[in-house]
Structure 1
Amino acid sequence: MTNKIMDYQSGSGEYKNWIITETEFHPEFLRKCEAIFALGNGYMGQRAAMEERYVNETRNLFVAGTFNKFDENEVTELPNAADVLWFDLKLNNEVFDLKQGKIVEYKRSLNLKNAELVRKITWVSPLGSVFDLVFRRFVSLDDLHVIAQKVEITPLNNCAEVVVTSGINAQVTNNGAQHFTEGQKRLYDGKYMQLVQTTTESEIDFVFNTYHSVKIGDEDIESDAMISMERRKIFQEFKPIQLNNCEKIVFEKITNVFTSRDREWMEESYCLDRLMTKSLNHIKELGTQSYDELFQYHVKAWKEQVWDNAPITINSNNDFDQLAIRFAQYHLTVSTPVHDNRMNIGAKGLTGEGYKGHTFWDTEIFVLPYFIYTNPTKARSLLEYRYHTIEGARRKAEDNGYEGAMYPWESAWLEDGEVTPIWGAADIITGEATKIWSGFIEQHITADIAYATWQYFQITNDVDFMQKYGYEIIFDTAIFWSSRLEWNDETEEYHINQVVGPDEYKEHVDNNAFTNYMAYWNIKKAMEYYNKLEKNEPILFSELSRKLDLGMNYLIWEAKARKIYLPSPREEDQVIPQDDTYLTLKTIDLSKYKNQENIGSMFKDYNLDQVNQIQVSKQADIMILFYLLEDLFNQDVKRANWNYYEPKTLHDSSLSLSTHCVLACDMQDDQMAYELFRRAAEIDLGPNMKTSDHGIHAASLGGIWQCVVNGFGGVRMLNGELRISPRIPVDWESLEFSFNWHGDELKVAATHEEVWIEKVTSVNEFIRLSVFDEEYVLRSRICVKVYQ
């Protein structure tokens, strides 16, 4: 798969289906590759801006968890930290600029296997000098504080003079908002530059150190440099270096990043001087190693932590499919701060300013399953974040007149509570800013977090987590829902009114089916665990009862649960009302918007109030209910609702396609499932050069993994039981993957004819599971024939 700019087949040999390449330089499309080529390690994320600077670029460096509020009228966001990437190059007294002169060859490639970004250029300057330039960089997975760069310059048609200016530039903002006060700047030992900056409201200290080394050919040289300081900036300008024709000069730049939010300062007494000293000593230690030496440690970490831990092999007629799942796993790794359970995943990961670094339900429903099945320790860390933010959830409930824990729609630092912005895009009819209601009334996230807690426990059997965190989350979210229910005298039922469901094109609706069913599930699960703990864990039960008044709340749950209104299928067509009014709204021809090139095209013709009155959905709503609580509905109901709602769903959310893909597998619509997978895989990785301007879609990438493993691989947890029922696409010959179940690693190899399942480890003597609805006991290895 190629287009004019993107090449998905540039890898060969051991790197086949591992490399994504940008083949041409187009300033108007800088942001696409800045996002998809971003580097990171969960501690920090470095957007892939180029070393030299361009007008249309976005230069971002984010450190997870370092939220700051620019102004009391704005919400907290991840601040854009200092730019450490920049190199200003003068070659024969001409500024290196790809918009000037002539580009003879251009190739910028992200190697997913070793997480290195490489740019190779042959450039003819305006005055006719010809140079080969190679730029390399990585953000270390071995040492989370390290960013490493290498720049190689070779004159090709004459001798040349090279002048390099480089350093740390804190003259950056978040789309105009300045989050830092200026701190100290200093050069140590004539070599190590240090810059300090502090966030304005949260008062988090950032310390950057950087050093350069220079080689001509393979020989180190001492190169004099003049130190300069400006406001929020420290840099060195190296004296001109003379090169012979075809003689290569190599600049290496190693940078470290530390903050006062680093976890070690929870246990140690913090002071800025200690942080500055520690980071300086660290950069001096790094100075004893070359780029290549640091890179080898980094490659080893990627191999052991990611590619050997959760390999997926797709034997497809379309090589893009294998590349796509690796791309998803790559970005799930670079975006996820699993080093610290006080942090979580932003909707754009650490690749852009979109959604301000905030955490949504995206984590629990779309990203967390990847880690639950492949790295339960990391999954636990992400869920512990939700426990550590529970006080903010309780405060939100109280502020809204409810009880229990009402989780924020958008979440940031532990104490921040609800951080959803109030105002959004322009209303094309009124000309006013559109109010964002999600932070007020999109409340299903509370049940989503409870569901994810339960799902984690069922798949991992992590009793310790439940005892310390999980039961309390499920109980307190159930307390919220019981207080949220509204009695309807006419129907003598409890309703949930004035909400936004997953379909955000329907605001202020009553009885959104997804919300009602998930709230009911949450309360019933709390009742189940109440009885379990009372019987089997009396000490823990007593502690939680005192804390949450479980005895009284159980009586409330018991009284209310059986009277919650749960929208049921209509007799005439088996369609479940998405909410009380959806099926009464007008219908229009949606083909124009279903076939759109860019999402959101409907809002060029209608405003949100008008869309609210049309039978059209942004994303899966009823459909995701069938995915999470699939055993509540039979196949006929699922098919009827698919036929009704999918034609009305624009998939304007990146979360939607993967959900529909998995459900299409369930309904044995193999061609539709594969088409939806391909569309989901192309959201970021595909040829559309504008979809990722504001950052990658982290939840969509988690959804791609679900398409492959939960959809085509058929892996599901149903009420604590394991089911594996693969449906391999026609275009695939085979699928191989591994996952964890109750502490054991299982490997699955599926073709169109048979499925092999192997228990690689021996935590459990055996595992009970179903394959194609037949029960099996897995002790070592089984093979099951596929009957279409």
Structure 2
Amino acid sequence: MKKYLKEHEWSIIEEGFDPENHEVSESVFSIGNGHMGQRANFEETYSGDSLQGSYMAGVYYPDKTRVGWWKNGYPEYFAKVLNSTNWIGLNIIIDGEELDLYQAKVHEFVRELNMKEGYLQRTFVAELQNGKQVKVQATRFVSIVDKEIGALKYDITPINFSGTLNLTSYLDGDIKNKDANYDEKFWDPVNTWINDNQMSVTLKTKKLDFHFCSTVETQIFINGEKQKISAKPEEKLKFTSLNYDLPLTKDVTTTIYKYAANVTNRDHDTDRLETVGKTVLSQAVAKGFDVLKQEQADAWALKWRDSDIIIEGDVAAQQGIRFNIFQLNQTYTGEDERLNIGPKGFTGEKYGGSTYWDTEAYCLPFYLATADQEIARNLLIYRYNHLEKAKENARKLGFSKGALYPMVTMNGEECHNEWEITFEEIHRNGAIAYAIYNYVNYTGDQSYLGEYGIEVLIEISRFWEERVNYVPAKDVYMMLGVTGPNEYENNVDNNWYTNRIASWTLEYTIEVLDHLKATDLELYQTWIDKLELKPEEVNQWKDIINKMYYPIDEERNIFLQQDNFLNKEIIPVAELDKKHLPLNQNWSWDRILRSCFIKQADVLQGLYFLNHEFDLDTIRRNFDFYEPITVHESSLSPCVHSILACQLGYKDKAYEMYLRTARLDLDNYNNDTEDGCHTTSMAGTWMSVVQGFGGMKIRDNQLCLNPFIPGNWNSFSFKIVFRGARLMVQVDQEKVTITNESNTPVDLHVYDEQHKLNGNSTLQVAI
């Protein structure tokens, strides 16, 4: 863990430049708008370590799998979101010397991500090797109003000299992914053009035929007045540039504007991309930088109105939660059902930008409670649209029926190539089923079950039916050779969480079938006929439910991670020398697998998902056993511990785990933020506040709140949308105040007492 960022309620601020922190900052200060994103690379040349990253949502490449030992069933590729044309690039040469902060002496450096208004700004004074000093202020954003537009403003002011500036504004499409398996470049050239102060690069992927066109206009102002300066154009393969020679006058500011239109054939006809790019760009240029920036601020104000969490009395906690909410809102907007949420968002290339089970397990609750219902529905429809691919995935692994959703995917096809995950981490199927339950339970949208949900549930249940192993000698069903969410144990038998989520899926599928039969017999029969579901198949599911084997330790009265878990030496993490942490960067894989240490919540994941099935004593016993041996080296782990600790009244532990998840990237807890921020786990941070400290649950179609407040907070508040009602929940050390900001009345429980809150009214309850 390394803390170097200034604590601030609304901004992420880095004061002073240290190249050792630069790649972490490139991740943390990333910007995006759901359509595209940009790491916080410098506009000007930087010769130190850096990952230049500009990413377009939904544009990916099937990079050939690289494994040492091929196994039947392996996917042939690992899908990767592509590093795309660098549209921000500027080469700055001052009196013959290139501006490069890795070479220059850097003074007064401040980098700020303004989360309230949605822009990135950087100021510094650079002293070149010849002693000349320039002051620079660079501001940029990608618009959440005009999703295909990016804009930057770059001010240069000489401090102690007058001279000349040679400026090159460029588009560079000759780039590659850092994570390319064979160091291959994934783009082929299509076209380039330059016209006056505009230039364009169009590329296409070597496979899948994605086309991407970036069109840029560059404008020069000196002392606030627009300049008419002829530029020297240059076109190369996948590259265009405009070169300007400009005077520099002491204390006079030269301003460079770049407006970029980034369009793809996901949204437009391929043969019209360049025309569309020109049109989009002209509309942005007509507005101008200041208008675009004000529109950005206004749009972010609306997002914060609906999703902000306010914490009084703890700036670190406040900054952490807003950073998490900011990244979620700029990663996924829900407007395009073809898109999903990559574990790194637009902040880096690790995990390929693909879809994992993170979306269903962690992200869905955030969008359920803070956005229009259709956005969460689109996340489910994304998986429904991949059902046929999920059935193909199951066939590839030798199953005769059912659907196995992929661990990693872009188009529904499995593209992960580690056997213990690809073949064994099948608990992900349960997360898809649970997401359907979670959505319907929260929204009350029963129609989703009859339209889409029941088909997915039946096919997942069919997979579980075939995947279990019946043991006649014990008359039980077991699940052999699996990997649970805790990936620090592979190829185990009877992982408790996997067994339970499989059995629960069967239970819920039968429950939905019964519901459809009782409420719409014609629709029920349509699905029975279409899917050829026989009564004996449902009876088989019931037998599995009744005879599923769960490993337990009777002495401690806890659920075991898996068979024989207690054969390991149980050592608390607190007794480890800190030099060993994180384990995954200091221990061999063999040593990790033989240890008791848990990467992330596993048994506790099940207790969180199926919380209504277990009493507090059961949750407490399991939490008390597993929490001390969990190293939280998955970003998905701390939030589950925080929520359960809140439920158990472990206030200090709840706060510790909250701060860890909220500031995971800001403080680089796991020493890996340079690879990109842990975007999907950020939704878990939101859950830690709303479901943890707020105690929010849905029981029997009613909203339940059971809030408590950490001792060092003066107050906290959050907003949720529940079945048409928008509620503001405010908690201080004495009372809970719930304000219904809509016209829709809502029934709710607060501390187990029933209340009816009419539209535009307020309820106060003593804490």
- The alignment's TM-score, normalised by the length of structure 2, stands at 0.94
| 1:566 has 2:550 as partner | yes
Select the residue among 184, 195, 199 that pairs with 1:177: 184
| 1:274 has 2:272 as partner | yes
| 1:257 has 2:249 as partner | no
- Distance in 2 separating the partners of 1:616 and 1:677: 21
| 1:70 has 2:70 as partner | no
Structure 2 counterpart SS, 1:287: helix
- Structure 2 partner of 1:13: none
- Structure 1 partner of 2:472: 489
Query: 1:259 is aligned with what amino acid?
Result: T
- Structure 1 partner of 2:347: 351
Question: Is this contact kept in 2: 1:157–1:245, CA < 8 A?
Answer: yes
Instruction: State the identity as a percent.
Output: 29
Question: Is this contact kept in 2: 1:32–1:690, CA < 8 A?
Answer: no
Select the residue among 407, 410, 424 that pairs with 1:409: 407
TM-superposed CA distance for 1:590, in Å, is 4.1
Question: Is this contact kept in 1: 2:664–2:670, CA < 8 A?
Answer: no
| 1:382 has 2:379 as partner | yes
Question: Is this contact kept in 1: 2:704–2:748, CA < 8 A?
Answer: yes
| 1:7 has 2:13 as partner | no
Q: What stretches of structure 1 of length at least 5 have no aligned partner?
A: 10-16, 423-435
- Structure 2 partner of 1:196: 202
Structure 1 counterpart SS, 2:653: helix
Q: Go from structure 1 to structure 2 and tell me whether the alpha carbon gap of 1:638 and 1:152 turns closer, same or farther (over 3 Å shift).
A: same
- Distance in 1 separating the partners of 2:358 and 2:405: 13
| 1:778 has 2:760 as partner | no
TM-superposed CA distance for 1:116, in Å, is 0.7
Q: Go from structure 1 to structure 2 and tell me whether the alpha carbon gap of 1:242 and 1:217 turns closer, same or farther (over 3 Å shift).
A: same
TM-superposed CA distance for 1:337, in Å, is 5.2
Q: Go from structure 1 to structure 2 and tell me whether the alpha carbon gap of 1:576 and 1:719 turns closer, same or farther (over 3 Å shift).
A: farther
Query: 1:226 is aligned with what amino acid?
Result: K
Question: Is this contact kept in 2: 1:662–1:711, CA < 8 A?
Answer: yes
- Distance in 2 separating the partners of 1:722 and 1:550: 35
Structure 1 counterpart SS, 2:59: coil
Query: 1:299 is aligned with what amino acid?
Result: A
Question: Is this contact kept in 1: 2:736–2:764, CA < 8 A?
Answer: yes
Question: Is this contact kept in 1: 2:176–2:185, CA < 8 A?
Answer: yes
| 1:556 has 2:540 as partner | yes
| 1:19 has 2:11 as partner | yes
- Distance in 1 separating the partners of 2:118 and 2:575: 40
Instruction: Give matches, 1:553-632, under 5 Å.
Output: 553-568=537-552, 570-588=553-571, 590-591=573-574, 593=576, 595=578, 599-601=582-584, 604-608=586-590, 610-632=591-613
Structure 1 counterpart SS, 2:43: coil
Question: Is this contact kept in 2: 1:70–1:200, CA < 8 A?
Answer: no
Q: Go from structure 1 to structure 2 and tell me whether the alpha carbon gap of 1:740 and 1:509 turns closer, same or farther (over 3 Å shift).
A: same
| 1:186 has 2:193 as partner | yes
Q: Go from structure 1 to structure 2 and tell me whether the alpha carbon gap of 1:2 and 1:504 turns closer, same or farther (over 3 Å shift).
A: closer
- Distance in 2 separating the partners of 1:542 and 1:501: 36
| RMSD, aligned CA | 2.0
| 1:223 has 2:206 as partner | no
Question: Is this contact kept in 1: 2:148–2:280, CA < 8 A?
Answer: no
| 1:233 has 2:239 as partner | yes
Deviation by residue 1:613-640 (Cα, 9 ceiling, x = unmatched):
3322111111111111112222222111
Structure 1 counterpart SS, 2:558: coil
Query: 1:604 is aligned with what amino acid?
Result: N
- Distance in 1 separating the partners of 2:577 and 2:429: 31
- Structure 1 partner of 2:747: 768
- Distance in 2 separating the partners of 1:256 and 1:685: 31
Structure 1 counterpart SS, 2:625: helix
Structure 2 counterpart SS, 1:76: strand
- Structure 2 partner of 1:329: 325
TM-superposed CA distance for 1:710, in Å, is 0.6
- Distance in 2 separating the partners of 1:164 and 1:177: 31
- Distance in 2 separating the partners of 1:589 and 1:734: 34
- Distance in 2 separating the partners of 1:386 and 1:286: 35
Question: Is this contact kept in 1: 2:726–2:740, CA < 8 A?
Answer: yes
- Structure 2 partner of 1:663: 644
- Structure 1 partner of 2:287: 289
- Distance in 1 separating the partners of 2:423 and 2:415: 11
Q: Go from structure 1 to structure 2 and tell me whether the alpha carbon gap of 1:105 and 1:516 turns closer, same or farther (over 3 Å shift).
A: same
Select the residue among 535, 560, 575 that pairs with 2:518: 535
Q: Go from structure 1 to structure 2 and tell me whether the alpha carbon gap of 1:125 and 1:36 turns closer, same or farther (over 3 Å shift).
A: same
TM-superposed CA distance for 1:465, in Å, is 3.2
- Distance in 2 separating the partners of 1:596 and 1:540: 60
| 1:243 has 2:240 as partner | no
Query: 2:140 is aligned with what amino acid?
Result: R
Select the residue among 486, 492, 508 that pairs with 2:491: 508
TM-superposed CA distance for 1:27, in Å, is 2.0
- Distance in 1 separating the partners of 2:273 and 2:139: 29
Q: Which moved more, 1:175-184 or 1:77-86?
A: 175-184
TM-superposed CA distance for 1:359, in Å, is 1.2
Question: Is this contact kept in 2: 1:411–1:418, CA < 8 A?
Answer: yes
- Structure 1 partner of 2:73: none
| 1:38 has 2:30 as partner | yes
Select the residue among 60, 77, 89 that pairs with 2:53: 60
Query: 1:656 is aligned with what amino acid?
Result: S
Question: Is this contact kept in 1: 2:192–2:201, CA < 8 A?
Answer: yes
- Distance in 1 separating the partners of 2:167 and 2:292: 23
- Distance in 1 separating the partners of 2:110 and 2:150: 22
Structure 1 counterpart SS, 2:155: strand
- Distance in 1 separating the partners of 2:219 and 2:565: 65
- Distance in 2 separating the partners of 1:784 and 1:218: 54
Question: Is this contact kept in 2: 1:228–1:235, CA < 8 A?
Answer: yes
- Distance in 2 separating the partners of 1:495 and 1:337: 41
TM-superposed CA distance for 1:774, in Å, is 2.2
- Distance in 2 separating the partners of 1:143 and 1:227: 28
**How many residues are matched?**
748
Select the residue among 296, 312, 315 that pairs with 1:315: 312
Query: 2:639 is aligned with what amino acid?
Result: S
- Distance in 2 separating the partners of 1:685 and 1:379: 28
Query: 2:11 is aligned with what amino acid?
Result: I
Question: Is this contact kept in 1: 2:425–2:483, CA < 8 A?
Answer: yes
TM-superposed CA distance for 1:596, in Å, is 5.5
Structure 2 counterpart SS, 1:366: helix
Q: Go from structure 1 to structure 2 and tell me whether the alpha carbon gap of 1:576 and 1:463 turns closer, same or farther (over 3 Å shift).
A: closer
TM-superposed CA distance for 1:715, in Å, is 0.8
Q: Go from structure 1 to structure 2 and tell me whether the alpha carbon gap of 1:173 and 1:706 turns closer, same or farther (over 3 Å shift).
A: same
Question: Is this contact kept in 1: 2:16–2:107, CA < 8 A?
Answer: no
- Distance in 2 separating the partners of 1:381 and 1:563: 36
Q: Go from structure 1 to structure 2 and tell me whether the alpha carbon gap of 1:160 and 1:2 turns closer, same or farther (over 3 Å shift).
A: farther
Q: Which moved more, 1:684-693 or 1:201-210?
A: 684-693
Structure 2 counterpart SS, 1:671: helix
- Structure 1 partner of 2:433: 450
Q: Which moved more, 1:777-786 or 1:96-105?
A: 777-786
| 1:373 has 2:369 as partner | yes
Structure 2 counterpart SS, 1:198: strand
Query: 2:324 is aligned with what amino acid?
Result: A
TM-superposed CA distance for 1:447, in Å, is 0.8
Deviation by residue 1:635-684 (Cα, 9 ceiling, x = unmatched):
22211111211111111111111110111101101011111111222210
- Distance in 2 separating the partners of 1:355 and 1:576: 31
Question: Is this contact kept in 1: 2:108–2:124, CA < 8 A?
Answer: yes
Q: Go from structure 1 to structure 2 and tell me whether the alpha carbon gap of 1:685 and 1:379 turns closer, same or farther (over 3 Å shift).
A: same
Q: Go from structure 1 to structure 2 and tell me whether the alpha carbon gap of 1:78 and 1:477 turns closer, same or farther (over 3 Å shift).
A: same
Query: 1:532 is aligned with what amino acid?
Result: H
Structure 2 counterpart SS, 1:157: coil
Instruction: Give matches, 1:738-753, under 5 Å.
Output: 738-753=719-734
Query: 1:474 is aligned with what amino acid?
Result: L
